[in-house]
Structure 1
C-alpha cells in the first residue's frame, strides 16, 4: 500500500491553534484544503484561547495540533484537557512560545517549519551581501540626488564582489542555507560556530575561525545566531570597532544579539555600514538615532516568510502530517535536547 493510500485511510483528528490574523495570512483556502486531505480538522475558527468551551471540546478529540504564530502555551492544564494529543506540527519557525516542559514530559512529538522559513531569510541575506558589495543602495541614492551617472571606469577597487570575504556567525539552519547559496560566487566564506567541528566546516566548504577573527577579517559579517542568554549582546562594541573600514554588518537574526548602542555609535562615526532586518525593539522608537544613520538600511523584519512564501510553510506542515499519520515520523522533528540551541 502506498503512503498516499495509507495517509488517506488514517486521518488523525486535528485542531488549529494560532492567532486569527496569522491564520488569515497563512491558511488560505488552498492550504486548508491540503490540510484536510491529511487530517480531520476541527471546525474553524482557529483556537487562540484554550480556556473556552469550544477549545476544550476540540482539545478533547485532538490527536494533533497544527499551530502557528500566537498559539497559546501548551501547559499542564491544556494538556490535561487534551488526553489524546500526541503531536504538534508548527507552521512557523520557533516553538519556544508554546511548547512547554509539560509537552516533552508527556512525550508529544513536535515538528517545525523552521527549515522552510529559513529559505527566504537566506535568500534575503545573499541578496544583501551582493548588493552591499556593489554599493547598490548608496549609489542609487546618489544617482537620484545628482541625476547623473558616476564614471564607472573610475569606480573604487573596493566596489564589487570578486574575492570578498563573508563571515557567517552561526551555522544555524539559516546560516547553513546562506553558505549553500553563496557557493556559486567568487567569495571566501568564514564561519564562527563553536559547535561546528573542523571536519563539519570542511564539508560545508568554509574556514572555521574564532569570533574576533571573523569580525576583523570579513568584508561582510552576517549574523545568524539564535537569541539565547549566552548570545545576548554577543556582537559587542569591541567586535564592531574591529571590523574593516566600510565593512558591512547584516543582522536577520534577533536585534538583541547585537549591542545596539555600540552599533549606533560606530555607524555615526561612519566606520561601517549595517543592514538590519531586526532591531531591539523590533520597531524602533521614532526618535532613535539609528533612523538618522544614512549608512544603515533598516527593513521591517521582512526577510522571513511573507506573501506567497507562507504557502511553503503549509506545504511542509502537510507533508509532515502525512508522514506522521503513515507511521513514518517527522522529517523535521524538534528535539528536547536541541531546544537550548534553537531560536
Structure 2
C-alpha cells in the first residue's frame, strides 16, 4: 500500500515500551508513512517538547501509557483527526471529547486477542487432561499411571462454556471448532441465530455455569459485569469443573472462588486477579488445583510486534485516505473492554 501523503504524527506511550513494541523495520515503515519524530515519545501532553508539536499533529500513534486525550488536549491539537492504538483497550485515553469532535479511532485489540485465545485453548486442553494433578502425582510418587485413576481425564465430548463473544471470545470459539467439544455461549448481545452461525449453543449464564466442564471468561470489565461469576454461580459448577479467567479479576467473586478451590471442589486457571498482584499470603499461590500466571495471556515478547505492525497497517490506510480496517465505534464503546 502506497501512502498518498505523510500526515504529521506523534508517538504517545510509555517511553520504555517503544523498543519492545516496535521493531526497527516497523519504525522505518512508520517514519515513511508519517512525518513523525521517533525520538519523541510522549508520556505527558503538557510537557514542553510535546506541547510544541501537538498543534500540528494529525495522528496520535498510541499504546500502553498514552495520556488521556481530553478537551484541553484536543484544544491544543486542533488538527488531530485520528488515534491509532497499538494495543487493546482505548478506554484509558479516548474520552467522550474525542467522539464529540469526530476523531477516528482504531485499535489492535483484534491482534491482542490472538495470544489470549491461544493461551485459553491450551488451558482448556491441559485442564481437561488434568495435567496439573497428574504431573504433581507423578513427580511426588515416581510411579506411572497404573495407580492414578484417570477415568475422568480427557477432552472427548467435554462441554466448554464461553462467557462473552468479545473479540477474544470469538477467537476462542474459532480455535475450539476442530475439537470434539460441545460449546455453550453466554452473551446477552448475541442472538440464537448468530450463535448458531458461530457453531455454539446460546444459553443463560446460570445454564452455562451449571452444565460446563470448563467455564472460560471473556467478558469486558464493566459495572454490570462486576462479580459476574459470583458465589452462587461458582457453587452451581460441576465438581471438578475448571474456571479459566483471562479477562479481569473483578469479573469473578474471588473470595468465593478461593473457598471452592481450597475445598478442592473446582480447578482454576487464573491469569488475572483482584488486585492485579496478589498479596504474598494469598492461598492461590500454593493451591495444587490452581494454575496462576501473572497476566501473561495477552501480547508479550515478540507478540507485541504484531500490535505495532497492525497499527502501522492502519496508519498506512489513513495516509492513503482509506477507512480503518479495525475501527473502534462510539456506539459499541460502552460495552467493549
Match of 2:261 in 1: 267
Aligned residue among 114, 132, 141 for 1:137 = 132
What does the per-residue CA deviation read over 1:245-288, in whole Å, with 9 as the maximum and x for residues that have no partner? 10000000000000001101111111100000000011101011
Contact persistence 2:116–2:299 (CA under 8 A): yes
- Give the SS at the match of 2:42: coil
Match of 1:186 in 2: 180
Matched, 1:302 2:296: yes
Q: Distance in 1 between matches of 2:30 and 2:120?
A: 31
Once the two structures are superposed, the pairs formed by residues 1-343 of structure 1 within 5 Å of their partners are: 4-5=1-2, 7=3, 9-151=4-146, 155-343=149-337
What does the per-residue CA deviation read over 1:186-212, in whole Å, with 9 as the maximum and x for residues that have no partner? 111000111100110000000001111
- Give the SS at the match of 2:117: helix
Q: Distance in 2 between matches of 1:23 and 1:228?
A: 29
What does the per-residue CA deviation read over 1:32-53, in whole Å, with 9 as the maximum and x for residues that have no partner? 1121222121241300011111
Contact persistence 2:132–2:288 (CA under 8 A): no
What does the per-residue CA deviation read over 1:219-251, in whole Å, with 9 as the maximum and x for residues that have no partner? 000000011000011100010011111000000
- Give the SS at the match of 2:224: coil
Size of the aligned set, in residue pairs, is 337
Contact persistence 2:164–2:219 (CA under 8 A): yes
What does the per-residue CA deviation read over 1:154-211, in whole Å, with 9 as the maximum and x for residues that have no partner? 7432100000000000100000000000100011100011110011000000000111
TM-score, structure 2 length as denominator? 0.97
Can you give the 5+ residue segments of structure 2 that lack an aligned partner in the other structure?
none
- Give the SS at the match of 1:41: coil
Can you give the 5+ residue segments of structure 1 that lack an aligned partner in the other structure?
none
Q: Distance in 2 between matches of 1:58 and 1:144?
A: 60
Contact persistence 1:42–1:58 (CA under 8 A): no
More deviation, 18-27/304-313: 18-27
Q: Distance in 2 between matches of 1:66 and 1:262?
A: 41
Contact persistence 1:13–1:42 (CA under 8 A): no
Contact persistence 2:10–2:40 (CA under 8 A): no
Alignment RMSD: 1.2
Q: Distance in 2 between matches of 1:225 and 1:151?
A: 41
Q: Distance in 2 between matches of 1:120 and 1:170?
A: 17
Q: Distance in 1 between matches of 2:326 and 2:48?
A: 32
Q: Runs (4+) of structure 1 moved beyond 4 Å?
A: none
Give the CA deviation at 1:151: 2.0
More deviation, 301-310/318-327: 318-327
- Give the SS at the match of 1:166: strand
Give the CA deviation at 1:138: 1.9
